Structure 1
Amino acid sequence: MPRTARSIAAGGFYHVLNRGDGRHKLFVKDADYDAFCHILADAPSCDTRSNLYAWCLLPDHWHMVLSPEREGENEKE
């Protein structure tokens, strides 16, 4: 049974994370970390606006703390 969608409040703080399937490694070599960092650096050019306060990359997952600037920002349609 799917969970009920959460509302996204402007200015709220959200802990976002993602793990590799079966906890397999996402980042195997230094170039993998570099590629992710380059993607993250390009994120401000996206249409959605969120403030990124902290992030952490680990071999099998990553964490971010962010805050959307507008109500409902980043919600899945």
Structure 2
Amino acid sequence: MTTVSFVLEELAELLAKMDPERVLSFRTSEKAQERLEALLEKNKTEEGLEEAEKDELEQFMLVEHIVSMAKIRALKNIASLAA
């Protein structure tokens, strides 16, 4: 496991423990979703993304990864509390 993924794992675990129900209900804002969709569409075009846009898309993907990991952990935390 790389250092970066280890840090992401720790962050996801922290988020999941804070309030599992809130983590599970998290959704990005409409504005953020629209921006992500615009970047994804532009990435499909011949002109592609500019460097700053590539960085922005990478940040979106990183956040999505962290949130996904946190949601998995939140589900596990809720299940262990119910057991």
- Normalised by the length of structure 2, the TM-score is 0.25
**Greater percentage in strand:** 1
**Greater percentage in helix:** 2
Report which structure shows greater RCO (CA 8 Å, sep ≥6): 2
- Normalised by the length of structure 1, the TM-score is 0.26
